[in-house]
Structure 1
Amino acid sequence: MTQQQKAYACGLAAVLAWSTVATAFKLSLAHLSSAQLLLYASAASLLALLSILFCQGRLKELLPAFFKNWRISLVFGIINPFAYYLILFKAYALLPAQEAQAINYTWALTMTLLAVPFLKQVLKKNDIWAALFCYTGVLVIATRGDLLHLNFSNLNGVGLALISTLLWAVYWIFNTKDQREPVLGLALNFAISLPVTLVWCAIHGELTHVSWQGLVGAAYVGAFEMGFTFVLWLFAMKLTESTAKIANLIFLSPLISLFFIWFLIGEHIFISTLFGLGLILLGLLIQKLPRSERIS
């Protein structure tokens, strides 16, 4: 295989794994609370990341990296995975999987908009059009097409899903200034977040007996949403001759995800979800077009 073929293989494997997580979230939440899913998935993800570092012969770097970067690791760990996934899982508990996952795809646009105040980047006309299409798509999904009456299917769930995109965007904006090696940094985030999640569960009475189905689901979520898949994507980005060729693969994910949601969960896919998701993907595509002039 050529380098580019290896990049495509890693990228497609990552996209396929990410396409299953909305289904895994919903199936796991049938057996676990949002906090419990976060706790056990975080433990599984930390084990996955530690095993990767072990295979790379870099496990000994973890403790020195912690003492050197404990402050930034604490901030990042509280944002992601703790706050981000706790809120995201709660959104999935309140909404159909098809709606939660579609809204979650607006995080890339949220990051662009937040980069204006945080990174002093310039807002372009493309970004305005992208925002218009994306958030109209969110409105279509949230109201299930009832735009005239603004009758939201679950306002709390939609609000939490949008807050999760805000947290994810903030995390990646801060990540532009992170000097830690990616896998090592992610392992530190989970190492710090895990005891915080444990305390949260203890305070809220969540340390109770859970079913084996919930544990299996959490292990899958931890490995394929939070752990190994992230590394696969990093490898794809390093191997590719063009970042755009790999980045564009992510557009396959929501469509494949809808198939798994329909096939494995049995959710009826609403026409409003398809139309709203189409608007969101169109908005993200507009954002990727050659940049138009800045807003004066």
Structure 2
Amino acid sequence: MTSTSNQKQAMLYGLATVLLWSTVATAFKLALADLAPVQMLLVACAASVVVMAVILLVQGRWRQVFKLSGRQYLQSFGMGLINPCLYYFLLFGAFDRLPAQEAQPLNYTWALVLAYLSVPFLGQKLRGLDILAGLVCYAGVVVIATRGQVASLSFSDPLGVSLALGSTLVWASYWILATRDTRDPVVGLFLNFLFGFPVLALVCWWTVGLSLPATGSLAAAVYVGVFEMGVAFVLWSHAMKKAENTSKVSNLIFISPFLSLVFIYFILGERILPSTYLGLVLIVGGLWLQQQKVRQREKVLNED
């Protein structure tokens, strides 16, 4: 298969992933209408475990689940406490408190947090461009969190904003740890969710109970588990494997937050504030600046 064909397939996989990512903020809010965050997480985790098991069976990789070492199974439990347990608990908690148009852009700053954490933990260098990207990104965070009242620095919901930003720290930390993960990516994610599920069930039972309403919220939680936690991960993995130019595929993620606002407006009926548009442009602009490092590295590799 030619490199042009591979790149086209990568772009198609990437676009499909971006489309799914663009719907999940709306699905989060629909699920949280009748479910507590931990209940939503329990349902989504269960759906994700099922869909990833099916994917492994279809791809002929199911046997790999049983061929890991004891240390790797222990690793699966530890990673499962981070993702899905802690990360999604913080993220869903943020969406429970904030409008989707605020929580969703704040979550996108995780890529910048990852760049900063890579300095002490992966030995990467912090450049002036990274600092500038951070200033631009977090200027957008302040604009969104204050709903445009920047001078007052009065956050609309300090706890909700803290949960959203906390989730970016957890998610970035998860990917730092994942750089040392030798498991097959889908097998690893499946086991993380499988080991995380009993913990979530126990916490759910202890706090809000296991009684779930048979409403649209339940269907929305299943949707999140199937597509955001399962299918999207596999599609994005395929996109990265097929890509001859990964930066072109990676750039597709910048479409997602803007497309997400379309779903939020038409399905949730949220009036999109001018501060959301301005803050989102700043956040995406900061992330674009930070991505220049990746583009430069890829250009050097291609020249070699």
Provide TM-score, normalisation by structure 2. 0.93
State the AA in 2 paired with 1:20. Answer: T
User: How large is the Cα RMSD of the aligned pairs?
Assistant: 1.4
Q: Deviations over 1:219-247 (max 9, x none)?
A: 10001110011000111111111110100
What's the CA shift for 1:8? Answer: 1.0
Shift of 1:120: 2.1
The residue type paired with residue 255 of structure 1 is F
Tell me the amino acid that sits aligned with residue 37 of structure 1. M
> How big is the shift at 1:288?
1.6
Structure 2 letter corresponding to 1:124: R
Residue 213 (1) aligns with residue 216 (2): yes
5 Å-filtered alignment, 1:88-237, equals: 88-237=91-240
Shift of 1:210: 1.7
5+ residue gaps in structure 1?
none
CA drift of 1:7 comes to 1.0
Displacement after TM superposition at 1:22 (Å): 0.2
Q: Distance in 2 between matches of 1:287 and 1:58?
A: 36
Q: Which runs of 5+ in 2 are unaligned?
A: 297-304
Change (3 A) 1:290 1:51: closer
Alpha-carbon separation, structure 2, partners of 1:46 and 1:236: 22
The one-letter amino acid paired with 1:141 is I
1-side partners of 2:200 and 2:175: how far apart? 21
Is the Cα contact below 8 Å between 2:212 and 2:218 reproduced in 1?
Answer: no
Question: Contact conserved, 1:142 with 1:154, CA < 8 A, in 2?
Answer: yes
Question: What is the match of residue 287 of structure 1?
Answer: 290
Contact 2:265 2:271 in 1 (8 A): yes
Residue 148 of structure 1: SS of its match in structure 2? helix
Partner of 1:20: helix, strand, or coil? Answer: helix
* Local SS of the residue matching 1:2: helix
**CA contact 2:36–2:208 (8 Å) conserved in 1:** no
One-letter amino acid of the structure 1 residue matched with residue 16 of structure 2? A
Output aligned runs, 1:11-50, within 5 Å.
Answer: 11-50=14-53
Task: Name the CA distance, whole Å, in 2 between partners of 1:156 and 1:211.
Answer: 29
The aligned counterpart of 1:83 is 86
Change in 2 beyond 3 A, CA 1:193/1:39: same
C-alpha displacement at 1:88, in angstroms?
A: 0.4
Matched, 1:260 2:263: yes
| Preserved contact between residue 45 and residue 197 of structure 2 (Cα < 8 Å) | yes
3-state SS of 2:60 partner = coil
Deviation at 1:59, TM superposition (A): 1.4
Pairing 1:71–2:74 present: yes
2:302 maps to none
In 2, the alpha carbon distance for the partners of 1:71 and 1:118 equals: 22
Say whether the 8 Å CA contact 2:106–2:164 is kept in structure 1. yes
Superposed displacement of residue 2, structure 1: 1.8
Is 1:134–1:283's contact at 8 Å kept on the other side of the alignment?
Answer: yes
Residue identity in the other structure for 1:156? L
Q: Report the CA distance between 1:205 and its aligned residue.
A: 3.1
Structure 2 residue aligned with 1:272: 275
- Letter of the 1:261 partner, please give it: I
Distance 2:28 2:273 in 1: 19
Matched position secondary structure for 1:211: coil
Task: Give the residue type in structure 1 aligned to 2:200.
Answer: T
